[in-house]
Copies of this chain bind each other. A is one copy, B any other.
Amino acid sequence: MNDPTVAPSFWVSQFCRPGDFEMHGGDIDHVRERYQHAPEPWIDLSTGINPFPYPIPPLPADTWSRLPLAEEEDKLRLVAAHHYGADDPDRIVSAPGTQALIQVIPRLIEPTTVAIVGPTYREHMRCWKRMEHTVREIGEVNEIADAKVVVLVNPNNPTGRHYTPDRLLNLAEDIASRQGLLLVDEAFADFLGAEQSLVPLKPPSTIILRSFGKTYGLAGLRLGFAIAEPQVASLLRAWIGPWAVSGPALTIGRQALEDTGWLIDARANLANAAQQLDKLLVGAGCEIIGGTTLFRLAEHPRAQSVADALACNGIHVRQFSDQKTWLRFGIPATEALCRLEAGFASLPPAA
């Protein structure tokens, strides 16, 4: 806080560095402002959200009107436990998006040493640093040294690198033996099958995050899960607090997680769309260097020009400030694919 007259001295010190507070992400509105002549509607390929959303079912009126019930949350956790292979609903924490969990977890632990396997989703780094932890980015899990907390995204965003569950179980056991914490963000694991997830192995001293919004194409709904040993899950639930997940999210989430047929179809649709995207990207001079079912990481020598050309065509893709030749593309639905092709075609020839 800058002004002591409005900032009582008792505000907890680490929350008071204004530099940490800027919002970011979900930045299509800022891009729209910068490229005012671009055609509407914008196509946002800057995120890894399924472009084929789960259909919103009719919602009973009281889903909106009354407070969410504890029994509704219990049922959602039961379904999630089954869906993710955790078995026990006591291992499940439901939250209004995994972002809420990414913010909370660093606050529950006294400042300590944290190793984040990078490059990865930058909210992890931001949230641990903000709470005065000593954070190091490492390139591989074998570089963790004596870090008490290890954070990794598996499969990784944006590179797609994937550690096997067995490898991570070993890591979890190692970390547990020195009373540490392993945080595995499985935001992009839903389409890989349970055998690629760490959840069924019930690793010790581990919190695993699963994103509902990305997989089901419902990022606006705000729903995500943490999976952990029952006592840690109970701690997280207490911190997230009562009525955190909305009535519509409880209802839609439960229905979607039980709908295994939809997930199988979605996987096929995404694989098909990803194949078309890959073809287009390679044809346009990109090299595909990574990805998951929900995005592709591409390298292009003139990535900035590509991003500009696409933005002029109302298409937003993710750039990386420290990897100037990288571009990340969400999987486009059919009509978006046509516009993407036109966008690449408008790229001026290299000087």
Interface residue from B8, B23, B220 paired with A246 (Cβ < 8 Å): B220
| Distance in angstroms between the alpha carbons of A179 and B238 in the assembled complex | 30
Chain A interface category by residue count: 35 or more
Least CB distance from A159 to B in Å reads 22
Q: Is A121 an interface residue (CB 8 A)?
A: no
Q: List 27 A-B contacts (CB under 8 A).
A: A2-B231, A8-B179, A9-B179, A12-B110, A23-B70, A25-B242, A25-B243, A26-B69, A26-B243, A27-B70, A28-B66, A30-B70, A64-B220, A65-B220, A66-B220, A67-B219, A67-B220, A68-B222, A96-B96, A96-B222, A100-B241, A103-B241, A220-B247, A222-B245, A246-B246, A246-B248, A246-B249
| Distance in angstroms between the alpha carbons of A148 and B11 in the assembled complex | 12
Label chain A's interface by main secondary structure.
Answer: loop
Q: Is A335 an interface residue (CB 8 A)?
A: no
> A63 to B1, Cβ gap below 8 A?
no
> B68 to A26, Cβ gap below 8 A?
yes
- Interface segment, A14-22, A290-298, A319-327? A14-22
> A205 to B70, Cβ gap below 8 A?
no
Max chain B Cβ within 10 angstroms of own Cβ: one of A6, A29, A229:
A6
> A100 to B244, Cβ gap below 8 A?
yes
Chain A positions 196-254 with a Cβ under 8 Å from a chain B Cβ: 204-205, 213, 217-222, 229, 231-232, 234-235, 237-239, 241-249
**Interface pairs A-B: 5 shortest CB-CB:** A220-B247, A21-B238, A29-B71, A26-B67, A222-B246
| Distance in angstroms between the alpha carbons of A229 and B6 in the assembled complex | 7
> B220 to A109, Cβ gap below 8 A?
no
> B70 to A53, Cβ gap below 8 A?
no
Cβ–Cβ < 8 Å partners of A97 in chain B: 243-244
Least CB distance from A164 to B in Å reads 24
Least CB distance from A12 to B in Å reads 6
Q: Is A154 an interface residue (CB 8 A)?
A: no
> B66 to A232, Cβ gap below 8 A?
no
Given contacts A70-B27, A71-B29, contact A6 B247 (CB under 8 A): no
Q: Is A340 an interface residue (CB 8 A)?
A: no
Cβ–Cβ < 8 Å partners of A6 in chain B: 204-205, 229, 231-232
Q: Is A107 an interface residue (CB 8 A)?
A: yes
> A109 to B67, Cβ gap below 8 A?
no
| Distance in angstroms between the alpha carbons of A224 and B251 in the assembled complex | 21
Given contacts A6-B205, A25-B243, A232-B7, contact A49 B67 (CB under 8 A): yes
Contact with B along A62-106 (1 / 0, CB 8 A): 111111111110000000000000000000000011011001000
